[in-house]
Amino acid sequence: MDYTIILYIFFGILPSLTWLFYYLSKDLHPEPKRMILKIFLWGALITVPVFFTQIGLAYLLGKINLSPIATSIIYWFLVISFTEEIFKYLVVRLKVISSPHLDEPLDIMLYMVVAALGFAALENILYLFAPVGQMSFDQLMNRTLIIALVRFIGATFLHTLCSAVIGYSLAISFCEENKKYIIIAVGIITATLLHGVYDFSIMTLDGYVKILVPVITILTLAFLVFSGFAKLKKMKGICKIK
> Using one digit for the tens of pLDDT, what is the confidence trace for 99-139?
877 778 888 999 999 999 999 999 888 877 766 556 665 66
Residue 238 falls within a domain, yes or no?
A: no
- Distance, first Cα to last Cα, the chain: 47
What span, in angstroms and rounded, lies between the C-alpha atoms of 115 and 48? 14
What span, in angstroms and rounded, lies between the C-alpha atoms of 26 and 182? 28
Residue 74 falls within a domain, yes or no?
A: yes
In sequence order, the 6+-apart residues with CB closer than 8 A to the CB of 74 are: 61, 66
Q: Could you say which residues of the chain have pLDDT below 70?
A: 1-3, 27-28, 130-141, 143, 147, 236-242
Q: How many CA atoms lie within 13 A of 97 on its CB side?
A: 12
Rg (CA), the chain: 18
Q: What is the mean pLDDT of the chain?
A: 86
Residue 239 falls within a domain, yes or no?
A: no
Do 82 and 194 touch, CB atoms closer than 8 A? no
Per-residue confidence (pLDDT) for residue 238, from 0 to 100: 47
Residue 151 falls within a domain, yes or no?
A: yes
Per-residue confidence (pLDDT) for residue 162, from 0 to 100: 96
Q: How many CA atoms lie within 13 A of 106 on its CB side?
A: 21
Per-residue confidence (pLDDT) for residue 36, from 0 to 100: 93
Total domains, the chain:
1
Per-residue confidence (pLDDT) for residue 222, from 0 to 100: 93
Residue 242 falls within a domain, yes or no?
A: no
Task: Kindly provide the residue ranges of all beta strands, DSSP E only, lying in the chain, ordered along the sequence.
Answer: none
Question: Which domain, by its residues, includes 83?
Answer: 3-129+136-233
Q: Is the pTM value of this prediction over 0.85?
A: yes
Per-residue confidence (pLDDT) for residue 1, from 0 to 100: 46
Residue 240 falls within a domain, yes or no?
A: no
